Amino acid sequence: MTTVDQLLLQIVNYSSTTIEELVSKRDARILRSMASAIISSNFLTENQSKLLVRILRENQEKLKSVNDNLVEQLLVPTWSREFRIFEQTKKLYISNSNDELSLIIEISYSSSLGKEIANIGKSVSGMSAGQSGKFYHADLTEKNIVTLVSRLKKLDFEIDQKIQNYYEIIQLWSESEIRDRFKIDTITHDNFQKQITSDLGIHTPIDQNIINDRSLRYQYFGEKNGKIPENLTETVATRLTRQLWLDKNITDLSDIFDTLRNLKRFPLLIVFDSNDQKKCLEELVNLSKILEKNGIVDNVGIYFRLGNDGIGKEFNQLIANKKYNSQLDNTTKIVGIASGKIPKFLLKTAWKPMSVIGIGRLLQHNKTSVYANCCDLIINWSDTQPIVEARMSWQ
């Protein structure tokens, strides 16, 4: 008796007419692909075999000319070889990339599993997907470990033993006891007091917004009582992660500057999307007006240039006219760079931003985003909300 896989090879290799003349283009493409798999050492998976039988049955009237017994042979399908076992990879482990440890979720391609991971990512900080869709990265934090282990175990993931050990230790902790040790009014370590004083200055009035804002930077628990923020300053100050998305259609850049000034959040790194020269020029003109409004007319460095013709020439000339080309040092208030490009001197100096704003393009998956991770406040000011990262938003 002819097996289904042998039947498929007869159909694909039929000399009187091509498979494309007998069935739809989509079905023909699938059948040829399966025929290649049958000829190879891989053969078919069980799911592929079911799809093959379904396509042949749907087209059996058209395919009778190839084999008169096709209908009978499909009643009880048989196969010449055992199906290939699809080994699905589902792992959670720790990886070291660019001297930074992170949690890695590795999966075989699966649309349903990909949706599950994306849903879990809503509760995980620093979650991002690799280009292949097989790897997901997340911050190596206690909360992420608990969230991922508890959720991925239910999906039969292989959990690295080191992560499992961390998970079991964390589960033994008492949240109230830990919180009590790390409240701003209970931390007694000298370095903590020195860092706060160095950051804000000894004579700076400290309100509740600043106390809440610095909790991420210095890793203490403030009195974030769950109250809905009433303005942009409160929204930024009570953020739960360093990433924050602000809708360009709702929030003006000038309002963001006011918030950063209220929270003592300068110096500032601004990342431009240099791929769109027209928008880049518009954003620089807007930024220049805001800087002048805030009395910032010096110590500004825009450290990239566009092609010196047309709009690019206007952009470059504006930088020269406004003297936005100051040498980078500890007095520099504003630094502007192009997305995906980091000037080497920026890495060799002690200058570090207190805030980062990505204008028009999300700070994800490039050199700029890696550098920006040194900061505890990264604002993505764009039209489009990111799918995984920067879930918190102001509307």
Residues 37 and 111 placed together within one structural domain of the fold = no
Domain boundary among 117, 139, 173: 173
Domain boundary among 146, 173, 200: 173
Q: How far is it, in rounded angstroms, from Cα 316 to Cα 304? A: 9
Residues 49 and 105 placed together within one structural domain of the fold = no
Contact 339, 372 (CB under 8 A): no
In degrees and rounded to multiples of 5, residue 127 shows phi and psi of: -75, 130
Domain boundary among 75, 100, 123: 75
Q: Quote the pLDDT of residue 206.
A: 74
Q: Residue 183: inside a domain, yes or no? A: no
Residues 353 and 255 placed together within one structural domain of the fold = yes
pLDDT-derived band of residue 226, with 50, 70 and 90 as boundaries?
low
Task: Report the percentage of the chain scoring pLDDT > 90.
Answer: 48
Residues 66 and 137 placed together within one structural domain of the fold = no
Residues 70 and 95 placed together within one structural domain of the fold = no
pLDDT of 240-258, one tens digit each?
889 899 999 999 999 999 9
Residues 130 and 257 placed together within one structural domain of the fold = no
Average pLDDT, the chain: 87
Q: Residue 255: inside a domain, yes or no? A: yes
More confident residue, 305 or 108: 305
Element (H, E) at 358: strand 355-359
Residues 256 and 161 placed together within one structural domain of the fold = no
Q: Residue 25: inside a domain, yes or no? A: yes
What CATH number does the domain containing 305 carry?
A: 3.40.50
Take residue 160 and report the two structure tokens written for it: 């690295």
Determine the structural domain holding residue 340 and report its residue range.
Answer: 239-394
Between 4-12 and 46-58, two packed helices, what is the crossing angle to 10 degrees?
60
**Number of domains present in the structure of the chain:** 3
Q: Residue 207: inside a domain, yes or no? A: no
Residues with Cβ within 8 Å of residue 99, at least 6 apart in sequence: none
Q: Residue 216: inside a domain, yes or no? A: no
In this model, does residue 57 exceed pLDDT 80? yes
Residues 71 and 111 placed together within one structural domain of the fold = no
pLDDT-derived band of residue 182, with 50, 70 and 90 as boundaries?
confident
Q: How far is it, in rounded angstroms, from Cα 363 to Cα 381? A: 10
Residues 352 and 273 placed together within one structural domain of the fold = yes
Residues 96 and 145 placed together within one structural domain of the fold = yes
pLDDT-derived band of residue 132, with 50, 70 and 90 as boundaries?
low
Q: Residue 354: inside a domain, yes or no? A: yes
Residues 23 and 65 placed together within one structural domain of the fold = yes
Residues 339 and 389 placed together within one structural domain of the fold = yes
Q: Residue 390: inside a domain, yes or no? A: yes
Contact 149, 159 (CB under 8 A): yes
Q: Residue 140: inside a domain, yes or no? A: yes
Q: How far is it, in rounded angstroms, from Cα 204 to Cα 262? A: 11
Q: How far is it, in rounded angstroms, from Cα 378 to Cα 360? A: 13
pLDDT-derived band of residue 395, with 50, 70 and 90 as boundaries?
very low
Mean pLDDT of 223-228: 69
In this model, does residue 121 exceed pLDDT 60? yes
